[in-house]
Amino acid sequence: MNGILRWIAACMLAGLCQTVAIGAQPASGSAAALYSQHCAACHGPDRLGGMGPALLPESLERLRSAELATVLREGRAATQMPGFAGQLGDTELNDLAAWLRTGPANSPQWAAADIRASHVVYHAADSLPARPTFNADPANLFLVVEAGSHHISVLDGDRLEPIHRFRTRFALHGGPKFSQDGRYVFMASRDGWVSKYDLWNLTFTAEIRVGLNTRNVAVSDDGKWVLAGNTLPQTLVLLRADDLSLVRIIDVRGRDGQASRVSAVYDAAPRHSFIAALKDIAEVWEIPYAGAGADAVSELKRIALDDVLDDFYFDQSYAHILGASRDGGGQVVDLTQGRKVADLALSGMPHLGSGITWVRDGHEVMASPNLKQGNISVIDMQSWRTVATVATNGPGFFLRSHENTPYAWADAMMSPKRDTLQLIDKQTLAVVGSVTPSPGHTAAHVEFTRDGRYALVSLMERDGAIVVYDACTLREVKRIPMDKPIGKYNVFNKTTRSSGTSH
Ligand code: HEC
């Protein structure tokens, strides 16, 4: 079966391609009526998705209004999304666009019964061969997320060649997460689907829809649990990792009862716990899983903060969380003591979430790019003082390195020099080189091969590529065409929690 057929079959199995049951007809001519008539068959009568993605305000958050208008008018080339310019007038299209930005009168529900009903197991746990079906180092594979057409390419990191490409759910959110042995990959999609993929057999094994809008998933270090963080509904959903069956749903509410969206979930492997960062309340949650049975989350621990954390970094041991606050400034929270232990001097808008650490002059330092200013802040991880501010070409998003390479690679994605990456010497903190893979094309998100010898850079456009550099000589060694390769993930670097990449 080709990819699309397989995907449609998967939808049918998952009960997605149901016939549309239209209830009370809204007044004709209204946006709601236009939706029922023209869109509901694909996007679902309740806008929760079907063959096409969910169309709730939360789903469309990242779509700019000009893009939304273009999609409605022209559709999306090479997808099932048709253009409506010929059928509907400008006023109708504008009304539809505005209506899509408002939520349904009753907040959509997604309860345990809905989650359970969506669960599909394609291959029972342990039913497939426990060895790779291909001839490549399974620990030096890369997953490249191609957001353009919702695919993942599997790259052999030694030969630097794709060995497989498969379709994913619409719009993956957060990076794919590997089981400790590198065999399984867990991914979450914007619309709430959690999928488990067997990388040795190159096939999906199970899927479940945990919510209507999901941030990301984390997998426990012991390989038993998967935790998903949702923004709609405002829940955490705990699954069994073997078959993705539902274990429990945790409502996310602060001590005062206020509900909150989840901003992200993490596996704090050294602590044998999950950590949930929350978007609307000044708390961080820790959920220990060591030795836990079905009650894996009974000891939920709340850590109260002074302020809601917008963006944060965990140190390598997960003893501390470094957070930036919405109104500027930052704090260091000791997760064991459960309290703030220091303030951070931060300016602009540091992107702590893509911070990295290394040892310099016997001190562990952490460096992170800045979304508003052309600089990289370097913080001493013991005194929590900013020891240097390195000027760069412009505001950037990612900073990446590897234990075996002397440079940290910084992009300037949010600036006119978005086509150029700069290399910072991790000891002198001087900018010592730069690469411009394709003038005018956005270059960002570096990930290294397991030995740190090659750096893989994304050209982010739809007709983009992965450009491979020799990390010492900065010579380009290869260019592999990709459809909007927004991220790439090396099995070894992720499962060993390399200090040069985010986890
Ligand atoms: C025949 C099926 C079909 C119909 C009918 C349809 N859509 Fe779609 N629509 C899709 C698919 C499939 C996609 C995903 C395209 C892609 O892969 O980017 C999509 C994407 C979209 C998107 C972009 C979502 C995003 O997050 O990027 C919007 C907005 C949208 N549709 C609105 C509508 C509206 C409004 C109507 C009715 C006027 C409609 N669609 C009718 C199938 C359909």
DSSP 244-299: --EEEEEE-B-TTS-B--EEEEEEEGGGTEEEEEESSSSEEEEEE-TT--TTTTTT
Atom 41, ligand 1: residue with shortest CA distance: 39
Domain of residue 130 covers 111-141+158-304
Atom 31, ligand 1: residue with shortest CA distance: 81
Out of 8-22, 58-72, 303-317, give the one with best mean pLDDT: 58-72
Q: Which of 385, 353, 350 is nearest to 369 (CA)?
A: 350
**Does residue 11 register a pLDDT over 60?**
no
Residues with CB under 6 A from ligand 1: 38-39, 41-43, 51-53, 55, 59-60, 63, 68, 71-72, 76, 79-82, 84, 96
178 and 256 share one domain: yes
Shortest-distance atom of ligand 1 to CA 62: 26
Q: What CATH number does residue 64 fall under? A: 1.10.760.10
- The pLDDT value given to residue 126: 86
227 and 90 share one domain: no
Q: What CATH number does residue 269 fall under? A: 2.140.10.20
**Does residue 234 register a pLDDT over 50?**
yes
pLDDT per residue as tens digits for the range 179-193: 999 999 999 999 999
pLDDT tier, 4 (very low <50, low <70, confident <90, very high otherwise): very low
- The pLDDT value given to residue 251: 96
239 and 263 share one domain: yes
pLDDT per residue as tens digits for the range 138-156: 999 999 999 999 999 999 9
Q: What angle do CA 268, 62, 229 make, to 5 degrees?
A: 25
**Does residue 350 register a pLDDT over 90?**
no
80 and 120 share one domain: no
292 and 221 share one domain: yes
How far apart, in whole angstroms, are the C-alpha atoms of residue 223 and residue 343? 35
Atom 17, ligand 1: residue with shortest CA distance: 79
Name the DSSP letter for residue 438. S
176 and 64 share one domain: no
How far apart, in whole angstroms, are the C-alpha atoms of residue 167 and residue 173? 15
Q: Is 322 within 8 Å of 332 (Cβ atoms)?
A: yes
20 and 123 share one domain: no
pLDDT per residue as tens digits for the range 20-38: 334 444 555 699 999 999 9
Lowest mean pLDDT among 96-110, 316-330, 453-467: 316-330
- The pLDDT value given to residue 228: 98
CA 208 to chain centre: 17
Predicted TM-score (pTM) of the model is 0.92
- The pLDDT value given to residue 296: 58
96 and 197 share one domain: no
Please tell me the total count of domains within the chain.
2
How far apart, in whole angstroms, are the C-alpha atoms of residue 188 and residue 231? 13
- The pLDDT value given to residue 19: 36
Q: Is 429 within 8 Å of 388 (Cβ atoms)?
A: yes
Name the DSSP letter for residue 212. S
* 257 Cβ neighbours under 8 A, 6+ residues apart: none
Question: Which neighbouring-strand residues pair with 158?
Answer: none
Q: How far is the CA of 55 from the centre of ligand 1 (A)?
A: 8
Residue 460 lies in a domain: no
Atom 29, ligand 1: residue with shortest CA distance: 68
170 and 262 share one domain: yes
* Last residue in a domain, options 288, 304, 320: 304
C-alpha dihedral (39, 118, 167, 143), degrees to nearest 10: 130
Atom 24, ligand 1: residue with shortest CA distance: 53
259 and 121 share one domain: yes
- The residue whose CB lies within 8 Å of the most ligand 1 atoms, and thus the one to mutate among 4, 17, 43, is 43
137 and 9 share one domain: no
DSSP 453-469: -EEEEEE-STTEEEEEE
